[in-house]
Amino acid sequence: MSNDRHVPVMLQRCLDMLAPALERPGAVVVDCTLGLGGHSEALLKRFPEVRLVALDRDKEALRLSGERLAPYGERATLVHAVYDELPEVLDRLGIPKVDGVLFDLGVSSMQLDEADRGFAYAQDAPLDMRMDQSTGIGAAEVLNTYPPGELVRILRAYGEEKQAKRIVSAIVREREKEPFTTSARLVELIRDALPQAAKRTGGNPAKRTFQALRIEVNHELDSVERAIPAAVKALAVGGRVAVLSYQSLEDRIVKQVFAAGAATTAPPGLPVVPEKYQPRLKLLTRGAELPTEEEVAENRRAAPARLRGAERIREDVL
């Protein structure tokens, strides 16, 4: 499989956002979502002095990226880990603080393009969806074993699917006849279950259900909720974090963490705000930045991307 078809999303903007922090001597940057290594390679190229630590839960991604980043030798340290394990990884490597952190959330191009992973609703494949295939349960087991009420909750919470009850009723009816194993059968069931009006908007009608299953299987939102505050905590003063999100649930978490860090925590009415109540972060984006039309034309997967950034402006004061 070649790396050349993978175009990293909003690459130039991410590099520019992190640049003031990574041009410092001895800078360390963490790519929390290595994938096929596009962002990591660009970071190593643009900042020749920087040391990179890159995380991924997918062993195949680590193998392919390892080949791609081999020319950079000891400047790149690749680690098999989920991004919310960032504090443990840095501790193990003896790195107290970092200068930059990059997150490119969601599914990697490799996972979408490898048909047998079951992420894409456009191809028939085993219903797996695990980003790390060495652990946890796959999407088929979720569909075949979860109680109906739990499936409805997942589709509503993680897929923002308004027709969750209707889809789950159909799933429960079908799984009693025969357990689910492949994606095509699920896509067909969703098409049949939805009213005509619901099929007319928003692309493939299976999209929201597949997103919900993927988030559940990989505990993605739980990981994001832990990882973003951990990244902020790991930043040295002057360090920067950039986060690419692809759906509103993730973007909301990032927005809330950054907003809380950029706000004063002082009780109202204080004439002078003591140091411990001062903001720890400065926001680097006004709202979320969107990809340009040119970027979307070049890489359709960039279309839903939302970029937010923040700079660490002071230490936590206990």
Average pLDDT over residues 81-90: 96
pLDDT in tens, 117-126: 445 666 678 8
**Confidence band, pLDDT 50/70/90 cuts, at residue 113:** very low
**Closest to 88 in 3D by CA, of 221, 222, 218, 233:** 233
Average pLDDT over residues 191-209: 79
Cα dihedral sign, 75-80-84-85: negative
Q: Any known ligand binding at 133?
A: no
| Rounded-to-10 torsion of CA 209, 210, 213, 219 | -120
For 172, the token pair is 């429960």
Q: Does residue 110 register a pLDDT over 50?
A: no
**Confidence band, pLDDT 50/70/90 cuts, at residue 111:** very low
**Confidence band, pLDDT 50/70/90 cuts, at residue 199:** low
Task: Work out the percent of the chain whose per-residue pLDDT is above 90.
Answer: 67
pLDDT of the residue at 205: 83
Task: Work out the percent of the chain whose per-residue pLDDT is above 70.
Answer: 90
| Rounded-to-10 torsion of CA 247, 198, 176, 151 | 30
Average pLDDT over residues 267-291: 92
Q: Any known ligand binding at 83?
A: yes
Average pLDDT over residues 72-78: 97
Q: Where are the domains of the chain?
A: 11-110+220-312, 117-218
Q: Any known ligand binding at 84?
A: no
SS3 184: helix
With beta carbons less than 8 A apart as the criterion, state whether 244 and 250 touch. Answer: no
| Ramachandran angles phi, psi of 54, nearest 5° | -125, 135
With beta carbons less than 8 A apart as the criterion, state whether 231 and 86 touch. Answer: yes
pLDDT in tens, 4-52: 346 789 999 999 999 999 999 999 999 999 999 999 999 999 999 999 9
Average pLDDT over residues 133-142: 88
Return the minimum-mean-pLDDT range out of 31-35, 216-220, 233-237.
216-220
Q: Any known ligand binding at 132?
A: no
pLDDT in tens, 144-158: 999 999 999 999 999
**Confidence band, pLDDT 50/70/90 cuts, at residue 134:** confident
Q: Does residue 2 register a pLDDT over 50?
A: no
Q: Any known ligand binding at 104?
A: yes
**Which distant-in-sequence residues (6+ apart) come within 8 Å of 207 by Cβ?**
121
The DSSP-derived string for 224-270 is HHHHHHHHHHHEEEEEEEEEEESSHHHHHHHHHHHHHHTS--PPTT-
pLDDT of the residue at 258: 98
pLDDT of the residue at 259: 97
- The whole-angstrom separation of Cα 41 and Cα 305 is 20
- Would you give the distance in Å from CA 169 to the centre of its chain? 30
Q: Any known ligand binding at 211?
A: no
**Confidence band, pLDDT 50/70/90 cuts, at residue 299:** confident
With beta carbons less than 8 A apart as the criterion, state whether 273 and 265 touch. Answer: no
Q: How high is the mean pLDDT of the chain? A: 90
SS3 152: helix
**Which distant-in-sequence residues (6+ apart) come within 8 Å of 141 by Cβ?**
none
Q: Any known ligand binding at 277?
A: no
pLDDT of the residue at 119: 55
Name the fold adopted by 11-110+220-312.
Answer: Rossmann fold (3.40.50)
Residue 83, CA distances (Å) to 59, 189, 242 in order: 14, 34, 14
- The whole-angstrom separation of Cα 203 and Cα 61 is 28
CATH of 117-218, one of 3.40.50.2300, 3.40.50.12780, 2.60.40.10, 1.10.150.170: 1.10.150.170
pLDDT of the residue at 273: 86
Q: Assign residue 28 a region: left if phi > 0, alpha if psi is -120 to 50, beta otherwise?
A: beta
pLDDT of the residue at 292: 94
Same fold, 11-110+220-312 and 117-218: no
